[in-house]
Amino acid sequence: MSSKSNAKAYWKENIRYVLILMAIWFAVSYGAGILFKDALNEIRMGGFKLGFWFAQQGSMYVFVILIFVYVRLMNKLDKKYGYDE
């Protein structure tokens, strides 16, 4: 594989990861925490209404996890395409 097509393939996989992770990012914050908050508030988790919990707790935990998942995925991808250093 030439270095140019190698770079292209790497970029394509990277974009795919980013799109999937951003979809989750959107779903937990804007979805669960805002748009569907009222429906989720019908469900309770201890003292928390679920929509409220997502807005003030859950989405933030998911954000942290998303970044570390991306770090892992990209470290692997860097190795696969020989860009690791």
Which H or E run includes 45?
Answer: strand 44-45
| Binding flag, residue 75, other proteins (CB under 8 A) | yes
Of 65, 73, 71, 69, which is closest to residue 13 (Cα–Cα)? 73
Query: Of these, 27, 29, 43, 80, which contacts other proteins (CB under 8 A)?
Result: 29
> By the criterion CB under 8 A, which residues form the site for other proteins?
7, 10-11, 14, 18, 21-22, 25, 29-30, 33-35, 37, 41, 45-49, 52-53, 55-57, 59-61, 63-64, 66-68, 70-71, 74-75, 78, 82-85
